Structure 1
């Protein structure tokens, strides 16, 4: 751990409590914080040590599974948002016998694709999905590591709908308090495992 990285006492355990207090606290102890990265005023939350720790990874996947916002019978596919949704989305999909679909940053997939743009603090960005990735009427659980303002998740949901699918729910590892990201995702149930200050 670098000298500037600290462990967190400001993380609130939410749905992660479904795995039990001891395991929840163990997982949170693995998440690092680096103030001033990537720029001043930002605290970078690093959950990569969770993935590198066998117990931590098991707790994370059990947490996602236990805290699903919907019953596994109510979705057909898991979609992961680039890039960290790719890290646990396939494992979660496999746990429930579902397929996995990647929602990628623009320019990473061969055509034909559906594209959706969204606003950033300074400018805009786009995400894409292959046009044949979702079957009409398919029910999709969208997963990602973090919900902040909700822009990326909203764009991902719009892509699923553009492809003919239905967004069944959203599942996030972390949420940033006070940014009201849920307001953009009001059409489907949402779960988050932990919360922290923005």
Structure 2
């Protein structure tokens, strides 16, 4: 069975993103996280992606990634653009960035994808899709990238998720010179 790996950036005060509609643009991860993106950061992301042969994305992350990556070229961009992507969305009718829109029951479809032969599936970002994934026990590893920054406003990790208490076991910690610490958790 393939592993589903959740990977998300988190500030020390638990912020993962700006609010919708945006009232705190400083809470956007590309603003507060960017000063810490260095060789360690890139190396860890590459290591994570080297284990994968596809991505699972919610609509918001898919649209942001497609905008950021689809026009780029070079080895990293070619790899990212070439990865098959599964997009969970109730509103998208078309996906053009090498993606398949998940239709119907998301939990059933993700479970089916995990049963297929292949390597890990990486899911970037934490949002609405996680409610379903956590409720159905579909996430095999959580990689929380804690950045040494307090944002003070924005949407928080699993805010409004609505699922029951979920206990996790700390499996690993990677520390970067920049101050980022990636905590890897697995279901207990």
TM-score between both structures, scaled by the size of structure 1: 0.38
User: Which structure shows the higher strand fraction?
Assistant: 1
TM-score between both structures, scaled by the size of structure 2: 0.39
Q: Which has the higher contact order (CA 8 A, sep 6+)?
A: 2
